[in-house]
Chains A and B, each alone.
Chain A
Amino acid sequence: DTEVTQTPKHLVMGMTNKKSLKCEQHMGHRAMYWYKQKAKKPPELMFVYSYEKLSINESVPSRFSPECPNSSLLNLHLHALQPEDSALYLCASSLSYNYEQFFGPGTRLTVL
């Protein structure tokens, strides 16, 4: 299985809502990533998990809260988001650093 899955595909939420994005991989990869991508821009790294521990937080606002319950799962909890947080959120995984990353299809998030 060489696939990274993400749910949901689309999410619309109000600024007072709490929601979660889910990412799953069964390739035995030990590094997992969250990226944010705005239209016509490159992906921007948000968080890196290595062996289920948060190793990088790219100064992401606390309204985004990552969680890695086990080596196959990565969640991104969302709370009190702003309209400017609307974007495509991409999850990726890799065997380790300096290896190719496998990306999921993304969650298209709209904050009203």
Chain B
Amino acid sequence: SQQGEEDPQALSIQEGENATMNCSYKTSINNLQWYRQNSGRGLVHLILIRSNEREKHSGRLRVTLDTSKKSSSLLITASRAADTASYFCATDAGGNEKLTFGTGTRLTIIP
């Protein structure tokens, strides 16, 4: 069963705008990761945030983690057409050896 639910399921924004997507999970975690997948291809790791961290930045990406609410958000600033992809959160809540992916958000950047 899926650990994470992502919101929204799909998001379309104009190039240059910021995109925010949210992930909620059900049980306690050690870390939460975000991945990007371009259409029908392999996943690319974006960022990992540990349970004792509240915020992390990487380039135009900002991830927050609220363990009390069991939720995380991914913010992409100044979006570009190349950011068009599906974005998945993933947690290790199923056990250290397992990564369980959320339902994903399909992001479309309109040039």
Contact = CB atoms under 8 A, between A and B. Distances in A.
A43 B103 CA distance: 9
Count class of interface residues, chain B: 20 to 34
B42 A97 contact: no
Contact of A48 (B33, B41, B98): B98
A100 B65 CA distance: 17
Contacts of B45: 100-103
B42 A104 contact: yes
Interface residues of A, number: 26
Contacts, number: 55
Nearest to A106: B42
B97 A55 contact: yes
9 contacts: A31-B97, A42-B101, A56-B97, A90-B43, A97-B92, A97-B97, A98-B92, A101-B43, A108-B40
Closest 9 interchain pairs by CB? A42-B101, A103-B42, A100-B45, A103-B43, A105-B42, A97-B96, A97-B97, A48-B97, A104-B42
Given A41-B104, A45-B98, 11 more contacts: A4-B42, A42-B103, A43-B43, A43-B101, A44-B101, A90-B42, A98-B96, A99-B48, A102-B45, A103-B45, A106-B42
Interface of B: 2, 30-31, 33, 35, 40-45, 48, 88, 92, 96-104
